[in-house]
Amino acid sequence: MSKTPKHDIKIDVETSFLAEQSRPDAGHYVFGYTITIHNKGSIPARLINRHWIITDANGKEEEVRGEGVVGEKPYLKPGQQYRYSSGAVLETPVGAMQGDYEMLDDQGELFLAPIPAFSLQMPNAVN
């Protein structure tokens, strides 16, 4: 029988290109993303801070740090999940995001939940 790790936060991402908000002729590409955060660990934890690194196809990098996500600091018990949607604006039709969430468990321990890199791309921008 395997023991569940204390901290095990899994993050799933779905992305979309928002054509109606984008202006490719002006180098303005808008992307939406929906994040689902799953607490697969054995202890409750609260998302305290977010840290993103957003990179466009020109190598321009933007770092974003802030409290919570979409104005909330979700508390997840083992087995629970939290889903939210947000967006990013790039100057190129292709880019990537990655980062981490700073979490605080019920024992007062801070830990990082990594957000694996994911791509943002306008349809047909990459073959």
How many domains is the chain partitioned into structurally? 1
Is the pTM higher than 0.85? yes
Distance CA 117, CA 93 (A): 17
Residue 97 lies in a domain: yes
For residue 51, what are the domain limits?
9-115
Cβ pair 33, 13 in contact under 8 A = yes
Residue 3 lies in a domain: no
Q: Which two tokens stand for residue 60?
A: 């321009």
Residue 25 lies in a domain: yes
Can you say whether residue 65 is alpha, beta or left, with left for phi > 0 and alpha for psi between -120 and 50 degrees?
A: beta
Residue 124 lies in a domain: no
Cβ pair 33, 15 in contact under 8 A = yes
Residue 126 lies in a domain: no
Residue 108 lies in a domain: yes
Give residue-wise pLDDT tens across range 61-113: 999 999 999 999 999 999 999 999 999 999 999 999 999 999 999 999 999 99
Residue 105 lies in a domain: yes
Degrees, nearest 5: CA angle 80-73-53: 100
Residue 43 lies in a domain: yes
| Position 30 pLDDT exceeds 80 | yes
CATH number, domain at 27? Answer: 2.60.40.1470
